Structure formats: structure tokens, C-alpha cells
Structure 1
């Protein structure tokens, strides 16, 4: 199997035996960008990165959960600042699209989610780190506004979904996206791949999130990305080996990974 990098995985959410299997029995896997959910998640991802060279940790606060209080934010940011030299990126951060659609976010809280996202964007700029974004549909243009406001160029929209106008804006700004295994069976994602320049695409699993189609009932594993690449090659009408090569190059360049070592 060709070399690959999983550009977005929650490795800390897997059981220890699964983590060991993924890392030690995947010779095709050059690196994993393991994003964090909150402070304890950050700490575990840092421990995993010290145990396994392939793990490149990103630190942040996932937006699809209740907001942290001021003390929790202060502790998280302080810890991130202390460990900024050990992080591959700020992430996963963004806006709570699904949490909001499930009516789990009060209207008065929306502004606080925006403030927290802007704080992380400012930190990414200050620390000169890439930023990993959870911003889909109506939230994506808002994220773009903040990125443009703070002149952020190294932005990675993971598992992106949005309208054509936003896609054009993101392409124009040079932002990256990453594609999950649902490109095999989701028309919306297939159309996104068709529209987006290959030079600005990465691949991911977002594991342990489960998938449907040929992956139904299976543990999400980075090996699944090979099927994503084959589908992308069909969509782009480019030789599959060329797609593997370009995706690897894209991710290494974006995350400053050299020969599997950050």
C-alpha cells in the first residue's frame, strides 16, 4: 500500500489496544494528526506523541459540546502555550453547527462560541501554527471572515461541507480541506472533490467516527483511506499513484512533516 498520512483523527478516543494496532501494524501510515477535544484530550494526545513518533498532536477545544467556563479556557490556553512547541496545530476548533441544530446551544451562547474561535485563531497566528477547523455549511463563511480578519493562510477545514460560493472563497484563499471515507458513497463529498484543487486536499478518517457503505460495522482505521484515494482518482481522472503522491506531499507540507518526523 502507498504511504499515507491521516490528516485528522481522534486517536485519544480509541482503546489502548486499538491505538497500538493502528500504529504498529500500519506500515503504510507515515503520520497521524491527532486532534483534541478538550484539555484532558490534549494531554492524552501529547502522551501518545511521546510514545509514538507517528503521532502529531493538535491541541484545542472541539465546538460540538458545552462551552468551557472562563477558568477552564484559561487553563487550556495556558497549557497549550506551555506545550506549543510540541503541537502540530491548533485544533480541533470551530463552531457548533450540529450542537446548535439539535437546539443544545442557547442563542446568547453563540457569541461566546465565536469569541472562543477567534481566540484560537489569534493564538494560531501568534504561535505560527496551522489551524484545524470544524466549520460546515452556514458556519464556514463565518470562519472564513475570522481567518481573513487575522490574515490566516494555513487553515484546514476537515470533513468540509458547504455551498459553491464558500468553496470558491476557500480555494481563492488557499485553504485546505480533508476528505473522509464517505467519499465512496456520498454524492456531496464527491462533488466537493471534483471542485477542489487536488493540491489543496488531504485525507482523513476522523476516527473513531463510524462510516457506512463498505465500512458499515467496521472500526474506523487509517487503512480505509486507500479506498478514499481510489475514489478521488476516479473523480479527478488522474492515475491513482499520482493522487497518493500528491496527497502525501500536501499533508507533509501543510503540517511541516519531514520523513514522518515533525
Structure 2
């Protein structure tokens, strides 16, 4: 059985050096690629450095929405740097809207976050890059609106959670989702996978984010994805080997790694 997996969403630059070594020293035949997403300009630079050092690291550059907005100077510097390194990136990401920050900070103004997101969507469209999205629950419909407005179809909603109506809309548009190891113990994610076409699913860790259940107290590692694949196969009622192959091919195709 071919058990190759690609971690479709990891913050490799957020691990310490020893942890990165633990992840990278795994055989490249088992873990041929990992999409390392960025938080801000400094994070972009770290991910580029990791990609230059390790061939399996495929960097994405962007601005994570769950933080303070960048100043105009910071925003322009990020876009300029991304343009200078556009050939090194596999996608624009992680980008999106600050759902969790907004819940913790009532009255947070969304206009600035929407403006930054739109700038990055325009960048992705201009350079024909896929986008990696942080957009859950109520924010997802607004992000779908923006994707449609900018005619962007190569969209990956990572660790997605949302209403059935939004799920149906995303399926109709052909957007991809990815699921984390919490599929093993979260009914909401299991229900999502049951609804979503296997041809539009990827797997991720979102590491170093920690997980519960059988992963309690463990460093988040791409090897955890194997349990996710087993659960997807169980939910879908498909042969495990074919699910491994489909998920692998989905990620290779979406990120144009082949």
C-alpha cells in the first residue's frame, strides 16, 4: 500500500529547531511535501529559508488574519517581498478573516481585514496562485463572495467549519477543504467529511497546534495524518489504499507539485 501523505497546512516556522529536525528527518518517500504557511513578512522569510534548506518544504506567503492589522508600510513591504519571491511560493496563504479575534473583541472593525484580504486575493489572481483560507462559520460566506467577485476558483479552506448552506455553496464552486487530526474525535468534522466530495478533500496538521484524544500531550507531527486518512476511509466507506491515493493526488494537483 502506498501510504504517502502531504501535510496540506502546517506552520513549520512556528516549531523550534529540534522539532523541525524531528519532522524533516522522516523519509521523504513517506512525506514528500508539506505546505508551510506564513503569518506575516518575518514568517514568510523563515518559510522561504526552510524551503531553501529542505526540498519537501513548499512555502506559502501571506498574512494570517488572527492578529493586529499591519500598518500601511508593513502591508506594502509584504506585497513587495511576495512579488520579488513569487516564483518560490506555491500559494498565497494563510489569509482570511479574524473570526476568533472578533469573538474575543466585540466591536472589532472588519473593514481593514477585508481590505488586506482583497489585496492578497488580487495578488493571487494576478500571479495565478492558489489561495489558502482561514475562513470559518459566518466569515466563510463573505469570503466566498470575495472569491467569486475576483473570479478565484483555486481556493483551499483549511480546517473548515460552517453551516450546511455554506458547505453546499463551496461544493458547487469546487473549493477544497482540509481536515486535521481532530476528525478522529470531532463529530462536526466527521459530518463535514461525510458531505464533502473525496475529490475535494486534503489532510493537514495545522501544526504546531496541539490535539486532544489519542494525540493529547504529543507534538503535532505529519505522522498523525495517517489516523485522519483511516477515519476518512471509514466515513466514506472506501478502501484505505484508494483514499490515500486520492488525498495525495488532490494535494499534488491543487498545489501543482507534480
Instruction: Confirm or deny a common fold (TM above 0.5).
Output: yes
- Alignment gaps of 5+ in structure 2: none
Cα offset, 1:118, TM superposition: 0.8
Separation (CA, whole Å) in 1 of partners of 2:213 and 2:50: 31
Matched, 1:21 2:22: yes
Deviations for 1:129-182, whole angstroms, at most 9, x for unmatched residues?
000000000000000000000110100000000000000000000000001000
Aligned to 2:249: 249
The separation in 1 between residues aligned to 2:184 and 2:239, in whole angstroms, is 17
Q: State the distance in 2 between where 1:212 and 1:58 align.
A: 27
Mapping for residues 113-152 of structure 1, pairs under 5 Å: 113-152=113-152
Aligned position for 1:161:
161
Alpha-carbon displacement from aligned partner over 1:14-58 (angstroms, at most 9, x marks no partner): 011111121112441010000000100000000000000000000
* 1:139-218 superposed matches below 5 A: 139-218=139-218
SS of residue in 2 equivalent to 1:133: strand
Alignment partners' CA distance in 1, 2:231 and 2:53: 33
Q: Segments of 4+ in structure 1 off by > 4 A? A: none
Task: Please give the residue correspondences for 1:57-76 in structure 2 after superposition, counting only pairs within 5 Å.
Answer: 57-76=59-78
Superposition map of 1:30-49 within 5 A = 30-49=32-51
Equivalence map 1:214-229=2 (5 Å)? 214-229=214-229
Distance in 2, Cα, partners of 1:226 & 1:30: 14
Shift of 1:256: 0.5
Offset at residue 185 of structure 1 (A):
0.1
TM-score, length basis structure 2:
0.98
CA distance in structure 2 between the partners assigned to 1:106 and 1:47 by the alignment: 38
User: Hey, what does 1:77 align to over in structure 2?
Assistant: 79
Distance in 1 between the 2:191 and 2:148 partners?
25
- Structure 1 distance, partners of 2:148, 2:81, is 27
Please provide the CA RMSD for this pair: 0.9
Show CA shifts across 1:194-229 (max 9, x none). Answer: 000000000000000000000000000000000000
SS at match of 1:29: coil
Structure 1: which 5+ residue stretches go unaligned? none
Structure 2: distance between partners of 1:186 and 1:26: 30
